[in-house]
Amino acid sequence: MVSIKANSFEPSNAERSKIFAEFLKALNTNSKGQIATEYLGGPEVIGATEIPSAIRKGTVQMATAGGSHVASIVKEVSLLALSRIPSAEERKVGAMDYLDQIARKVGIHIVGRLDPKQGENFYVYLMKKLNTPDDFKTLKGFAANGTYVQAMAKALGASFTVIKMEDAYTGLDRGTFDAYSTAIGLGVTLGIMDVCKFVLDHPIYRSNTTIIMNADVYDKLPAELKKVIDDTYLEFEPKLIAACEKEIGEGKQKFMDRKVQFIKFSAADEAKYMNISYSSESEAQLKAVPDTGTAYLKMVKAIN
């Protein structure tokens, strides 16, 4: 019997953490008791930023992990955000295996995406209306709780700053900056819908959260148990997608309930905006991982 202790980077009551706990139970069942899993809890047990190191050390053997946290060890994980193809196609063309082989060099096995939903993840919340992408140049400032939109903001001519996520509400409310970007579920958690006036309804980038495992533990499993883990992930992928779509739908509704206006560019300006968003971030990522990034980005149709 193989014992697997597991942790989640989000609180245990978060929707994805609940599904992860179900996934762990299913591993017990599907392996007929040959895999014994124990869900320890969320960041109160192991902090979100510490999870990749805990996985490498074997403190826990499996976990959900934020993209930026894993990318601090495996830079290429950031590339997951730029994929323009469905998860099933990523597996078919070998994109996930490609990243997994890179991650294995530092002791991490990528079981799969935690948020495998195809489509963009990050919205821009605004205090002033934008009519075209050129209007980004008129913003007083553009902020986010990470660098995931920094290259885009610079390419659009906006000044950018990284802030603590808890400062987003007051920053918008006090006019420190006119724009802020994060996933809509987190936007609800931060209360952004109570202060912002507009949401740019052209979300960008996919989530790069993952389920990861200690590579040595996975590699030592017999083939039939590796297959149990792989097949059980595929079984749960639709549930993870549904949870993410539910979070987005409920999040958008809460913004609309507060009379926040969702705005769209013209078709031509939307194409321009999306092209700038992906080309600028791809360029930035390729500077960080020039030897490995090009192959992945071509596989997932982020670049030609």
Give 7-18 pLDDT, tens digit per residue.
Answer: 998 888 888 899
> Using H for helix, E for strand and C for coil, what is the string for 54-75?
HHHHCCCCEEEECHHHHHCCCH
| Amino acid code (one letter) for 185 | G
Give 63-93 pLDDT, tens digit per residue.
Answer: 999 888 899 899 999 999 999 899 999 999 9
Q: What is the mean pLDDT of the chain?
A: 93
Check pLDDT > 80 for residue 146: no
Task: Record the tokens describing residue 162, joined without a space.
Answer: 């990284």
Give 191-234 pLDDT, tens digit per residue.
Answer: 999 999 999 999 999 888 999 999 999 999 999 999 999 999 99
- 112 three-class SS: strand
5: pLDDT confidence band, cut at 50, 70 and 90?
very high
111: pLDDT confidence band, cut at 50, 70 and 90?
very high
Calculate the CA 142 to chain-centre distance. Answer: 20
Q: Determine the Cα–Cα distance for residues 5 and 38; give it in Å rounded to an integer.
A: 5
Check pLDDT > 90 for residue 268: yes
Calculate the CA 86 to chain-centre distance. Answer: 14
Write down all domains in the chain, each with its CATH number in brackets: 2-118+207-247 (3.40.190.170), 122-206+259-299 (3.40.190.170)
Q: Determine the Cα–Cα distance for residues 252 and 249; give it in Å rounded to an integer.
A: 5
The torsion angles phi and psi of 162, rounded to 5 degrees, stand at -90, 130
Check pLDDT > 90 for residue 163: no
pTM of the entire structure? 0.82
- How deeply is 290 buried, as exposed, middle or buried, from its count of CB atoms within 10 A (0-12, 13-18, 19+)? exposed
126: pLDDT confidence band, cut at 50, 70 and 90?
very high
Angle, CA 102 vertex, CA 220 and CA 289 arms, to 5°: 165
Check pLDDT > 80 for residue 295: yes
